[in-house]
Amino acid sequence: MVMELKWGETPWDGMSREDLLREVQRMYAAVNAAHSVMNLVSLNQPDHLFWGKEGSGGRALEMTRQIDEPLRERYGDGIHNALLRYALDLLFDGSTYRIGSGWAVCPVCGDMYGRRVDGVSSVGTPCSDHLRKDCSGILRPLEWSDLETAAEDQSSDDFKLKKGMGAIE
């Protein structure tokens, strides 16, 4: 069923602050990806009208640049480390296209592992099959509660797990 919006209403008006934040994160991740792809394609067709100032590709590229560039100037790679590297697994459904890295977390030692080289998820496998031979944990999917930025350490762009969990590689 299609809902009708009145002037001034948005689809996001009834969202909680947390749901709205997740939607903004999803949109930023999509804008960032679209900007990268469009920029790459436009570099291969620099004289095409589509990528010019009057073309829809050029206008779309400029809109995404105006969203992405100020954030990159302000936060550098921190926005990638804090959001795009890990949260894509939680923000998008990766069942059709490989979106994210398929992060799996050990609830015992806190180590995180992405998809194996063959593309298969490590979720459900023993942590001892990976780097920590002495760990008894079984890897589970990444959850929002696992993630927090290193806000206490303003000098670091490193990404950390809550509760003193192990390093992320």
Q: Could you tell me if 68 and 84 are in contact, meaning their C-beta atoms sit under 8 angstroms apart?
A: no
Question: Positive or negative, the Cα torsion across 152, 157, 159, 160?
Answer: negative
pLDDT digits 0-9 by tens, 60-111:
999 999 999 998 888 887 777 767 888 899 999 988 888 888 999 999 988 8
> Residue range 38-66: average pLDDT?
95
Q: Which residue has the higher pLDDT, 83 or 39?
A: 39
Is the pLDDT at 165 greater than 90, yes or no?
A: no
Own/partner pairs, 5-12, CB within 8 angstroms, 24+ separation: none
Residue 151 has what pLDDT? 33
pTM of the model: 0.74
